[in-house]
Every structure is written in C-alpha cells, then in structure tokens.
C-alpha cells in the first residue's frame, strides 16, 4: 500500500497533474484508506513542496502546479470519505486586505488548507475592514486568515482586529496573519493569534487552533 502512497506523493511533488486522478483511483481500488491517502500522500507531498519552495529549490510555477495536482487528487478521494471523516476540520475565511491585490500566496494557503480538510471561504483581494468584519459575523469561521504583501497595507490587519474587538467578535474567531513583509513580532504587536511564514506553517497553525478547541 505504501507503494501507492509513495507514487501519489511523488506525482504531487513533481506536479504530474495528468496522472494524479488515475493514481488515486488505483490506490482506492487497492483498498487504501481515504483519510490516510489524504494525510500521508497528498498533504505530506505539499509539506515537501512547501519546504522546497522555502529553500529556493522550486519556485511559484512549480508550487502552483503541485497545488493544482493535489486538488485534483483530493477531488477523487473526497466522495469516498466516510460521513464522519468528510466533516470539515473547521471553517477558514481567507482574504487579502484593503489596498492590496497580491493573492498568489494567499491562494496557495487557501488550497493547502482545503487539502488539509478545512472548509475555506476565499473572499479575494482588496477587502475593506467593514466587509471583513461583516463576513466574520455572517460566516462565523473558526479562523480568519489575512494576507498583506505591502508595508502600506499591513496596518489594515491591525484595523481588522480592532474592529472585531469593537464589535464583540474577537473572542469568536482566531486571526492568522501572513505575507512577505509580516513577521512574528508584528503579528504579536497587533494582537493576532498566529503568524505563518508559508502555506505549510499556515496549515500547522490552523490544525493546532482547531485541535485546541476540541
């Protein structure tokens, strides 16, 4: 069985998007457990991809293709999950803040979270404080993930947290922040619940938050 998993993992790492569906299908037919397949092959592969990207061994094009490959595999497995297993691990609202149009990093984080079993609502880019707070009220996510790539838009994150507080919503949602200019010090200063340097860290953080909730 680990043979099947290894092949799937290699296909995701190598971005072989044309092969992935057949490989996953074969693994399932051979009796692979769907959730093992997700965790030990698809997501495990993206952890490797994230590490390679962080180390500068691969670049955005390869990472995007691996993410697309992972999603294609996921689409095959999902219907096979038992009712209990297919329940989402939690809901995440993702967005790039007001004035900022950079979304490649945020999209990768969204895809990885989805792969890890979260229900992700990606609101897109250039989201005003009001809109974000409204959406948190309506969707009631477990986690709000904010992305900013400009030093000029980083302060928007603080405004969002401030407004959540003012409207009494801060205790109901964990706020994660990320994007190239953001660092752990900034995250702490603005009162965020976590900072992730890359998509793999984002997933680990989200898991920790949801597990802590029980």
* Least distance from ligand B12 to the Cβ atom of residue 169, Å: 18
62 touches, from ligand B12, other proteins, none (C-beta below 5 to 8 Å by class): other proteins
3-state secondary structure of 19: coil
Q: Is 83 left (phi over 0), alpha (psi -120 to 50) or beta?
A: alpha
Residue 181 in contact with other proteins, rule: CB under 8 A:
yes
Residue 166 in contact with other proteins, rule: CB under 8 A:
no
* Least distance from other proteins to the Cβ atom of residue 151, Å: 5
Residues in the chain: 214
* Least distance from ligand B12 to the Cβ atom of residue 75, Å: 22
DSSP conformation class of 26? H
Residue 198 in contact with ligand B12, rule: CB under 6 A:
yes
Closer to other proteins at the Cβ: 61 or 168? 61
Residue 183 structure tokens: 């660092």
Residue 157 structure tokens: 């994150």
- Cβ proximity of 4 and 23 under 8 Å: yes
Which listed residue (15, 50, 73, 145) binds other proteins by CB under 8 A? Answer: 15
φ/ψ (deg, to 5) at 122: -95, 115
Residue 1 in contact with ligand B12, rule: CB under 6 A:
no
Which listed residue (181, 184, 189, 211) binds ligand B12 by CB under 6 A? Answer: 181
Which listed residue (15, 73, 105, 115) binds ligand B12 by CB under 6 A? Answer: 105
Closer to ligand B12 at the Cβ: 1 or 104? 104
CB atoms within 10 A of CB 84: 7
Residue 54 in contact with other proteins, rule: CB under 8 A:
no
Residue 152 in contact with other proteins, rule: CB under 8 A:
yes
φ/ψ (deg, to 5) at 176: -110, 140
Closer to ligand B12 at the Cβ: 2 or 151? 151
Distant-in-sequence, close-in-space partners of 164: CB < 8 Å, separation ≥ 6: 133, 136, 144, 170, 173, 175
């Amino acid at each position: 069985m680990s043979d099947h998993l290894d092949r799937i993992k290699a296909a995701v790492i190598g971005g072989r998007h044309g092969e992935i569906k057949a490989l996953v299908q074969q693994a399932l037919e051979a009796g692979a457990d769907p959730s093992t397949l997700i965790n030990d092959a698809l997501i495990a592969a993206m952890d490797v991809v994230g590490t390679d990207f962080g180390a500068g061994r691969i670049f955005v094009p390869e990472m995007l293709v691996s993410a697309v490959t992972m999603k294609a595999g996921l689409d095959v497995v999902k219907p096979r999950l038992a009712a209990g297993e297919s329940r989402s691990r939690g809901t995440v609202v993702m967005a790039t803040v007001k004035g900022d149009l950079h979304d490649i990093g945020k999209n990768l984080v969204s895809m990885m979270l989805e792969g890890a079993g979260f229900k992700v609502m990606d609101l897109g880019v250039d989201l005003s404080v009001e809109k974000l707070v409204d959406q948190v009220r309506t969707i009631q996510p477990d986690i709000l993930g904010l992305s900013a790539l400009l030093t000029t838009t980083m302060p928007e994150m603080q405004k969002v947290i401030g407004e959540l507080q003012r409207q009494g919503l801060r205790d109901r949602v964990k706020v994660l922040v990320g994007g190239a200019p953001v660092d752990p010090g900034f995250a702490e200063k603005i009162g965020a619940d976590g900072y992730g340097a890359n998509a793999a860290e984002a997933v680990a953080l989200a898991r920790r938050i949801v597990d802590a909730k029980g």
